[in-house]
Chains A and B, each alone.
Chain A
Amino acid sequence: MTATDHQSPKMQTAAEPILRVEELNVWFPITGGLFGRPHGWVKAVNGISFSVRQGETLGIVGESGCGKTTAGRAILRLLPRGSAHISGGVFFEGRDLYALKSRELRATRRHIQIIFQDPIGSLNPRMTVGSMIAEPLLVHNLVPRNNLEAHVRELLKRVGFDADAARRYPHEFSGGQRQRIGIARALAVNPRLIICDEPVSALDVSIQAQVLNLLADLRREMGLSYVFIAHNLAVVEHFSDRVAVMYLGKIVELGPARSVVSHPRHPYTQALLSAVPMPEPNRVTTRTVLQGEVPSPAHPPGGCPFHPRCPLATAICQREMPPIAVKRGDEAHTAACWNVE
């Protein structure tokens, strides 16, 4: 880094992680009737807690609709105001984002950036790539004006483009290229935490590797922390230090990536893992195939939300939500299930 070196990340104390999410709830109202009063809530995110340490990557996996994208947006306080009931705390470097005034929020936001799933919708079709990347730099006065062009060129080079790309419009690029432009835009403000919202799901497998390697290089060189949201467990395992598995707005399992994948505790994680195709045709696997549909988050089942589909479900599962707890062995590996020993 050159021009923005003075903004280098503060040293974190061991006690304070870069991001701490406490009992975060995001409930969307179901409105209707004459006066549009809510008569129910879609509990997209229902009391999740986790933290991300400096330089760490936390993966969040789950099926479509489990609330992982909503959680990512809520962390950045990006959900449209008034569209959802949000409670709980999001602490970035110890400061509660939801307590910030709008001016402070704008200043703080640049430390947390977001990379999107859809490489088409995430770039403004009317702006050149150069002005898109330069804009936040100008607004936050991060780079002197006469150095702006060079800085943009450098950022583009960092994600693998030559200077010519700055003059072009998004429609002239392919999906993988656009995703790298999105990364350059996120990097422009020199963030400390990047929320990657399914950054490779929409890409070709060959391009996926390219983008993942780029993200990994950036993490190493710039000391970035990531929240990496995906539905592909293999990608998440490869990329993350720790993994959180979400089901119906709750975290059901949280632990070191390797441990979660090799020794899944929660029956839902086991089912997810058994759905990952293995490139070993001769291996006989016992597949856990889930029965039934994902219940609607507007009417989640009582007790453990997974119990209607769970092969291990017992009477207590229908009555009470299991706490997320450390089970036998690994200290850091927790799961929310009554039936895990």
Chain B
Amino acid sequence: MTEITSPSLLETPLAPPPRSYWSLAIGKMLRPWLVKLCVLYIGLVLLISVMVPLIASGKPYEIQIHTSHGWVTRFPLLVDLTTRDYLTFLAAAMLIGIILAWRLTRHMEMQRRRQLRMTIAGVLIGAAAVGGAAVGILHHNRFDGTDYRSLLKSGAARGAVFAPIRWGYAEMEPLSKNAINELPSWHHWLGTDRSGRDVLSRMLWASRVAMGIGFVSQAIALTLGILVGALMGYFGSVFDLLGMRLVEMVEAIPTFFLILTFIAIFGRSILMIMIILGVTGWTGYARFLRAEFLRIRQLDYIVAARAGGLPLWRILFRHMLPNGLTPVLVSASFGLAGAVTIESSLSYLGIGVRPPTPSWGGMLNAAGNPATVFHWFEALPPGFALFLIVLAFNIVGEALRDAIDPKTLS
């Protein structure tokens, strides 16, 4: 390169560090305290739904049992975890690690950052894959029917370390204690239900179903919607015509009745509900993205990207998608709320998850069963939990919509 022609053109360095559009938008979204609270709440529920086997279980973390060889230390809770629990932990740890790595390397020089991020992501994904394979091969689910509480009481065990909530979701108080429909007490913080099960433990376990349905179904829907919407919007003409007809066809399917039909044919399955919600729920996202892409594709920076000879996938997913994604994300947060509502409706009707797996809708159904006496402390927690999580999703969605409004984003 030749030397710079005119020194007067040289910029003086500007002081504040640059902020991306996303960091500006998220910063603005989080400004009201209510939104902060909602995001924290959703995060907390997500964390609980992942960690719940470690939080609420009747099995102690550690216990010493008297056997013929003397006192032996056992770890019943860890042994009791299912393969799916371990895989969930691994996936969550990997995601958190990647998010942390991205945030920590934010201000690095472009090239080093790229290398470091790729390395960290590679290592984390590799570790998760190896860990997952190891769990899959080495770990076997087994049923542990030991009643550690009575062992402790009889003196056959000692030194037990329990989880914060000492009840599993299906664990009943013995009939002899007549502990059904108990009011909240020190022993059962939210009381017990009609079968003598701890309501708080069931509440926490139920968050798993709600969050799982919400996030998995919307992840499927987003993937499909983004793919179809991007192709329709970018290519237009025949793609657009066929894509929109497909959208209209899928929109004509009544999701709720489709789920009922599938349950009638194939039986209950939470995974099936997730997939049906995802496969029928993508049309809104596709429409949004199509509209955005129709607008963006004629902007000069896309023309510049094409003139630069960039490959198609790069133009679609690096240049267009980040600029067209925001309305889709806003609608996704409402979609999450919708999926949670549908699952709880199904469970309320008694065709959601299979008992004794708890879900908020199922607990509501049990509480409102006209054949038995109504107890407010049974109905209130699941109703309130549903209300709160749907409200939180909606508030965050609204805040995101306001935050990305070009008239107010500065």
Which A residues fall within an 8 A CB radius of B?
1-2, 73, 76, 78, 80-83, 105-110, 112-114, 116-118, 121-128, 130-131, 134-136, 139-140, 145-146, 148-149, 154-155, 157-162, 164-169, 171-172, 177, 180, 182, 185-186, 188-189, 210, 213-214, 217, 221
Contact = CB atoms under 8 A, between A and B. Distances in A.
Nearest to A185: B304
B4 interface: yes
A126 B311 contact: no
Nearest 5 interchain pairs by C-beta: A160-B9, A122-B300, A136-B308, A106-B309, A116-B300
B84 interface: no
Interface in B8-48: 9-11, 13-14, 17-22
A166 B110 contact: yes
Given A76-B307, A135-B310, A126 B18 contact: no
Given A162-B13, A168-B14, A146 B307 contact: no
Contact of B111 (A122, A136, A146, A182): A146
Contacts of B309: 105-110, 136, 139-140, 189
A134 B114 CA distance: 13
A162 B14 CA distance: 11
Nearest to A76: B307
B240 to A, nearest CB: 11
A106 B307 CA distance: 8
Interface in B284-330: 297-301, 303-311, 314, 318-319, 322-323
A213 B235 CA distance: 39
Task: Determine which residue in B2, B11, B307, B309 has the highest number of CB atoms from chain A within 10 A of its CB, and name it.
Answer: B307
A164 B20 contact: no
B236 interface: yes
Contacts of B18: 128, 167-169, 172
A154 B1 contact: yes
A114 B304 contact: yes
Contacts of B9: 159-161, 180, 210, 214
B6 interface: yes
Nearest to A197: B300
24 contacts: A78-B307, A107-B309, A110-B309, A113-B307, A113-B308, A114-B304, A114-B307, A121-B299, A122-B304, A126-B21, A128-B110, A136-B310, A146-B111, A155-B1, A159-B9, A160-B10, A162-B13, A164-B13, A171-B21, A172-B18, A185-B304, A186-B304, A213-B5, A221-B2
Contacts of A130: 110
A126 B323 contact: yes
Contacts of A127: 319
A268 to B, nearest CB: 29
A127 B4 CA distance: 25
Nearest to A152: B110
A109 B303 CA distance: 12
A1 B307 contact: no
Nearest to A73: B303
Contacts of A168: 14, 18
A82 B18 CA distance: 40
Contacts of B13: 162, 164
Given A80-B298, A109-B308, 19 more contacts: A76-B307, A78-B307, A82-B236, A82-B237, A83-B236, A105-B309, A113-B308, A114-B304, A121-B301, A135-B310, A155-B1, A157-B1, A160-B5, A160-B11, A161-B9, A162-B13, A165-B11, A169-B19, A210-B9
A116 B304 contact: yes
Contacts of B20: 126, 128, 169
B301 A123 contact: yes
B109 interface: yes
Interface in B111-163: 111
Contacts of B299: 121
A76 B307 CA distance: 7
A78 B308 CA distance: 11
Nearest to A160: B9
A81 B13 CA distance: 43
B4 A157 contact: yes
B366 to A, nearest CB: 49
Nearest to B237: A82
Contacts of B301: 121-124
Contact of B308 (A135, A159, A177): A135
B307 A149 contact: no
A160 B298 CA distance: 29
A189 B308 contact: yes
Max chain A Cβ within 10 angstroms of own Cβ: one of B5, B303, B308, B323: B308
Nearest to A128: B18
B408 to A, nearest CB: 14
B276 to A, nearest CB: 34
A114 B305 CA distance: 10
Contacts of B307: 76, 78, 109, 112-114
Contacts of A164: 11, 13-14
A177 B11 contact: yes
B300 A160 contact: no
Contact of A78 (B14, B110, B235, B303): B303
Contacts of A166: 110
B303 A116 contact: yes
A169 B4 contact: no
Interface string B93-116: 000000000000000011100000
Nearest to B323: A126
B250 to A, nearest CB: 24
B322 A139 contact: no
A169 B21 contact: yes
Nearest to B4: A157
B21 A131 contact: no
Given A131-B110, A182-B304, A189-B308, A80 B236 contact: yes
B9 to A, nearest CB: 3
Given A110-B308, A139-B308, A139-B311, A124 B323 contact: yes
